Structures are given as structure tokens and as C-alpha cells.
Amino acid sequence: MSKLGLWCKTRKKFKATTNSKHNEKISPNLLNGKFKADKPNSVWVGDITYVWTHEGWFYVATVIDLYSRKIVGWSMSDNMRTPLVNDALKMAIWQRKPPKGLIWHTDRGS
């Protein structure tokens, strides 16, 4: 490995970023694990991922149309505050202009 300039990077301990212990209102789970859609812009799902960089954690929120499995909205930030998700959803709404009745599904994280 050293001849090729490769080295082993040890894994860091898992860091939980979801806090499900709160008193906030919880919306009903309309999908119940059925992640399929019959038509475009009827069901969108969202999630956040994060990447370690030389400048710290970098967060990316995405909105995916379950029908096409395409990303229809996204947002990036150096923190995981509310505007991260709101901006991704606003982008998706602005681009797709979904009809009334859209289901927006995310986990119960922040």
C-alpha cells in the first residue's frame, strides 16, 4: 500500500444527528414504508446528509420526487438549521409547482 501512496483511515464513532425526543407535533406517516408514486409531483421525500471537509461539516438537504427518483430541490450549508431544509423545499416548489395534495415526507429529525 505504501508504494501506491495508500493509507488506511480508521472510522470515526457514529454520531447521532437525529433527536426524536421532543414535544413537537408529529405528523402522521402517510407512506407507511410504501415509497412509490403513481405520477410525478405526488410524493416528495426529503433528507439531509453531511460530509466532513477540511473546514468542518458540510450539510446537504435534498427533495426527491418518488415517481422519477430525481432530485427536484436541494440546499447546502455549514449548519443543520431550519433554513437548510426550507430552502431545498422552496427550490422544489418553485421549479415543479406541484398540484394540491402533494405528500411531503421526511424523517422525524431536526
pLDDT tens figures, 61-70: 999 999 999 9
Specify if 8 maps to a domain.
no
Specify if 49 maps to a domain.
yes
Specify if 23 maps to a domain.
no
What is the C-alpha separation between 3 and 44, in angstroms, rounded? 48
pLDDT tens figures, 18-59: 666 777 777 788 888 888 999 999 999 999 999 999 999 999
Question: Based on the structure, what is the number of domains in the chain?
Answer: 1
Q: Is 13's pLDDT higher than 60?
A: yes
- Please tell me the pTM assigned to this model: 0.75
The predicted pLDDT at position 18 comes to 64
Q: Residue 74: give its domain's CATH number.
A: 3.30.420
> Which position has the higher pLDDT, 93 or 35?
93
The predicted pLDDT at position 32 comes to 85
> Which position has the higher pLDDT, 26 or 84?
84
Specify if 78 maps to a domain.
yes
Domain that holds residue 52: 32-110
In the chain, what percentage of residues exceed pLDDT 90? 58
Specify if 97 maps to a domain.
yes
Residues in contact with 17: Cβ distance below 8 Å, sequence separation at least 6, in sequence order: 48, 50, 80, 109, 110
Specify if 11 maps to a domain.
no
Report the pLDDT averaged over residues 102-106. Answer: 93
